[in-house]
A = this chain, B = another copy of it.
Amino acid sequence: MKGGSQMDAEIQQRIEASFARQGAMQTMGAELTRVSHKLVEIELPFHEKLTQQHGFLHAGVISAALDTACGYAAYTVIEPDTSVLTIEFKVNMMSPGRGERFLFRGEIIKPGSTIIVADGRGYALGDGPAKLIASMTSTMMVMRGREDIRE
């Protein structure tokens, strides 16, 4: 995994450990492929267990990967003893989720002390240039003193 040059090793380890605890990410076969300041990427090979009725990647799977990428991008800007919860997100599906492999990037656009806003972009990877398949805006809340959602 690529770690951004400015990334604190502790933050990177926290994100990796947290990602590994996500049952849904394991079920989906998702990999954490990049962690840098304000930006996290997740990749996912296509699998028919992740499809909607037309055989494309399910919009919910796309949402899960983008939400996760945005959430960990937020982890790179918060204090180590805090966490974040997703309040809401919006996803635009721009092209059918067709491809062999997918890349999902979450990037912080507003690193507030209480509310954090991230943009996410999903791409289908293949022989040609990456194809934009989805776009997310996600709003998260910084949580303090909540042991149950610490990691």
Please give, as numbers and ranges, the residues of chain B lying within 8 Å of A89 by CB-CB distance.
Answer: 59, 90-91
The one of B19, B23, B86 in contact with A48, judged by C-beta atoms closer than 8 angstroms, is B23
A103 within 8 Å of B (CB atoms): no
Q: Taking the complex as formed, is A115 at the interface, i.e. its CB lies under 8 A from any CB of chain B?
A: yes
Complex Cα spacing A117 to B133, Å? 12
| Copies of this chain per assembly | 4
Picked from B22, B96, B119, the residue with its CB within 8 Å of the CB of A53 is: B22
Expressed in whole angstroms, the minimum distance between the Cβ of A18 and any Cβ of chain B is: 4
Are A141 and B117 in contact, CB atoms less than 8 angstroms apart? no
Residues in B neighbouring A55, C-beta threshold 8 A = 21
| Residues of the B chain whose Cβ atoms lie less than 8 Å from the Cβ of A114 | 141
Interface of A is mostly: mixed
Asked if residues B139 and A137 are in contact (CB atoms below 8 Å), the reply is no
Which of chain B's residues have a CB closer than 8 A to the CB of A68?
Answer: 52, 58, 60
A-B contact pairs, 25 of them (CB 8 A): A22-B51, A23-B49, A23-B51, A24-B49, A26-B49, A27-B49, A52-B68, A52-B71, A54-B149, A58-B64, A58-B68, A59-B64, A59-B86, A60-B61, A60-B63, A60-B66, A63-B63, A88-B93, A89-B90, A92-B117, A92-B139, A94-B112, A96-B149, A114-B141, A115-B141
Could you list which residues of chain A lie within 8 angstroms of chain B, going by C-beta atoms? 18-19, 21-24, 26-27, 47-55, 58-68, 71, 83, 85-94, 96, 109-110, 112, 114-115, 117, 119, 132, 135, 137, 139, 141, 148-149, 151
